[in-house]
Amino acid sequence: MVTASTLGKTRFFDTPEKRDLLQELIFSCALEYQWDLEAWAVMSNHYHLVLRSPEDATKFCFLINKVHTLSSKRLNLLDGTPGRRVWFQYWDSRITFESSFLARLAYVHGNAVHHGLVERPEDYPWCSAAWFLANAPRELSERVAGFHMDRVLFYDDF
């Protein structure tokens, strides 16, 4: 699981166009480095990802670095602010237990609700919740829905 924060929690990705830009870069870089996206939530000042690593997971930092480098350059081009620092840092953790995995899926899917942006997770366009409901087996989506976000101990002070 990965969480990345913008510098000073600044809402750099404050328009649909900018959130689309970041989400598309996350998708393309994950594909390029062969990491499977299990869940994602892109907000105006941070994002969360749950990824499944390839057999050789050593290029993880390259994936994150490329997302941050390209998104900064493209965002700064849109805003007319070349060279501005956009990203502060990221935190990652390795998920080793199924219950932790399911809880983090629920957490990421519910992040827009947690931040008061929508009432239902599937209504937030920059999140995997709607995709998950449409594509995951019903049994799995019901198990994930059974996890409550307040039980996940995870820093998200955005």
pLDDT in tens, 97-152: 888 889 899 999 999 998 999 999 999 999 999 999 999 988 888 888 877 665 55
Q: Which of 101, 90, 88 is nearest to 53 (CA)?
A: 101
Where are the strands (E) in 35-150, listed by range? 36-42, 46-52, 87-92
- Residue of 21 and 103 predicted with greater confidence: 21
CB 48 within 8 A of CB 107: yes
Name the residue ranges covered by the structural domains of the chain.
2-151
Give the span between the Cα atoms of 61 and 107, in whole angstroms.
23
Decide if pLDDT at 89 tops 60: yes
What was the pLDDT predicted at 17? 98
Mean pLDDT of the residues in the chain: 92
pTM for the predicted model, two decimal places: 0.89
Q: Which CATH class is domain 2-151?
A: alpha beta
Q: Which of 33, 13, 12 is nearest to 23 (CA)?
A: 13
- pLDDT above 90 covers what percent of the chain? 76
